[in-house]
Amino acid sequence: MNILAIRTDKPEAELYAYKDKVELGQLKWQAHLKLSGTIHQKIEEILNKSSISLSELGGIVVFEGPGSFTGLRIGITVANALAYAQAIPVVACAGDDWLNEGIDRLASGNNDKIAKPEYGAPPHITQPRK
């Protein structure tokens, strides 16, 4: 199974391409405030370098957090949208072994259907000024 893995909880975003449990490629870049404008191009780049087309993806693993509110929201939204558009499973995992856990879950036939972020704390939403 061809797998795309996404981690966007910190300023340095990470993408991985796998064939089953064999890493085909990884891409890390300083996305920080430009994540939403760069993630799609970087996904295309890692898939091309790994000789995988979108239609050949079999599943997506995404880091669920905790971490940056905006970074997690962008990465998980992209993972969910891509999984939905390609009709493939998506799994969300956390912790130091998130990637291996996610690959194992996909291999076992798991599908979260909708990955959800774990921010680690309530969002800090500013109150309107009076």
SS (H, E, C) the chain: CEEEEEECCCCEEEEEEEECCEEEEEEEEECHHHHHHHHHHHHHHHHHHCCCCHHHEEEEEEECCCCCHHHHHHHHHHHHHHHHHHCCCEEEECCCCHHHHHHHHHHCCCCCCCCCCCCCCCCCCCCCCC
Query: CA 106, 112, 117 angle in degrees (round to 5)?
Result: 115
Residue 49 belongs to domain with CATH number: 3.30.420.40
* Range(s) of the domain holding residue 70: 2-107
Q: Does residue 124 belong to any structural domain of this protein? A: no
Provide the whole-model pTM.
0.92
Segment 96-124, tens digit of pLDDT: 999 999 999 999 999 999 999 998 887 66
* Rounded CA separation 29/84 (Å): 25
Asked if residue 11 belongs to a domain, the reply is yes
**Segment 3-17, tens digit of pLDDT:** 999 999 999 999 999
Confidence of residue 26 (pLDDT cuts 50, 70, 90): very high
For residue 122, is it within any domain?
no
For residue 48, being part of any structural domain is answered with yes
